[in-house]
Amino acid sequence: MIARPLRVGIISAAWGARAHLPAWRSVDGIEVTAICTSRPETAAKAAKDFGVARAFHDFCDMAADPDIDIVDCGTRPPLRYAMVMAALGAGKHVYNGVPFAKDLTDARAMTAAWRAAGTVAVVDAFMQAVPAMVQMKAMVDAGWLGGVFGADIAFEVPLFSAAQTNVPGYVWFADAANGASAGRNLGSHMLNLLVHFFGPVASVAADMSLALKEWPADGDLIRPEVPDRASMLLRHASGLPTRVEANWCKIGGDGFRFSVWGSKGRLEARAPVFPMAHDTQLFGTRNAALGSAPMDAITLEPDYLRIPGCRAVADRPETGLFALASIFAAMRDAIHAKGAASPDFAQGLHVQEVVEAAVRASDERSWVNV
């Protein structure tokens, strides 16, 4: 007897439908059966446009539906909280976005609800599933660097500038009530990656500020209320020091860079903007010469470019497709009691704790324990 597919309901006709939907559909044993937006007419249109069988305009109805196994919660953090809580309350498996929550209170409540539900709950921190990152971590764990001494990670791009807003769908980043800032949004993605590589963070020092006071958008001006840059110094529980730079208004920014070094050499992952499977490259050096050591390109091994039980292709340019599919496939397997899903809500809560500690550290101009 063949078990029926796991059925997914997606809340969001924006990022959820554009990026998550094709990734879910690439995974064997998964069927996307429902989509939810805030109004009946938009829900019906989304279902038709994306070829989904059922339309919902009330996420509570979707969460309560016995024919849905997994609820994929899209949109901004304050709205996602109620969605996640409704889904967990109904005993569903949950996929939740990044930032994990608008604040620590919501993060703790969602994590407690997940533990009570006993279901699989995963966070959308898919950088760790990009093939270059997966191979990089395997090399670090295997001792390619020798003893690890430290790591720097930076995500610096002009999402917003004085000339134009390059991501008009994300002007909600300007509002503090949405739990947004460069440190909370870009920073949360990078912190999830650091925690995945090096374990929990014990303490943090930080500096955060707002430089660009206005964003032009659709003939109007958005006046942001939140820091557009964040610098964090981290001390992991292991004692390892790492550093984070997040900046969403840096013209000519270098995009994404993640560098790890040790007693035998250095590894670096690079991407032009947000790391994706098709454009994130891996470099390394064991040259100990004084000055700028050349970084050689490292070919990704075929095993890191395949996902068991999945048809996603690593070199396709769709936003996040391969990495998302990798996370979804691991979630599928965990639901069937075959391995563990990652990043889970425990990691999401810890990253939220680091983010909140960093905000305090910036305000107080001191190191803060997590």
pLDDT band at 59 (very low <50, low <70, confident <90, very high): very high
Domain 6-119 CATH assignment equals 3.10.129.10 = no
| Residue 360 banded pLDDT, cuts 50, 70, 90 | very high
Determine the pLDDT at residue 2: 54
Tokens describing residue 115: 């533990």
Averaged over 147-165, what is the pLDDT?
Answer: 96
Which residues, in sequence order, are CB contacts of 1 under 8 Å at separation 6+?
none
Sign (positive or negative) of CA dihedral 77, 79, 81, 84: negative
Sign of CA dihedral 275, 18, 76, 117: negative
Contact criterion met (CB below 8 Å) for 69 and 43:
no
Reported as half-sphere exposure (CB side, CA atoms, 13 A), residue 52 has a value of 31
Quick one: pLDDT at residue 1?
A: 44
Q: Is the pLDDT of residue 293 over 90?
A: no
Please state, in angstroms and rounded to a whole number, the distance separating the CA atoms of residues 274 and 256.
6
Residue of 3, 19, 5 whose CA lies nearest to 322? 19
Please tell me which residue, 3 or 270, carries the higher pLDDT value. 270
Query: Is pLDDT above 80 for 333?
Result: yes
- Rounded to an integer, the average pLDDT of 31-50 is 96
* Domain segments of the chain as ranges: 6-119, 127-305+351-369
295-309 confidence digits (pLDDT tens)? 999 999 999 999 999
Q: Give the largest CA-CA distance in the chain.
A: 65
241 alpha carbon, distance to own chain's centre: 22
Confidence of residue 3 (pLDDT cuts 50, 70, 90): confident
Cβ–Cβ under 8 Å, residues 212 and 162: yes
What is the tens place of the pLDDT at every residue in 224-233? 999 999 999 9
Average pLDDT over residues 28-36: 97
- Predicted structure pTM score: 0.96
Q: Is the pLDDT of residue 181 over 50?
A: yes
pLDDT per residue as tens digits for the range 337-347: 999 999 999 99
Give the C-alpha separation, 43 to 138, whole Å.
Answer: 42
Of the options 3.40.605.10, 3.40.50.300, 3.30.360.10, 3.30.300.130, the CATH number for the domain spanning 127-305+351-369: 3.30.360.10
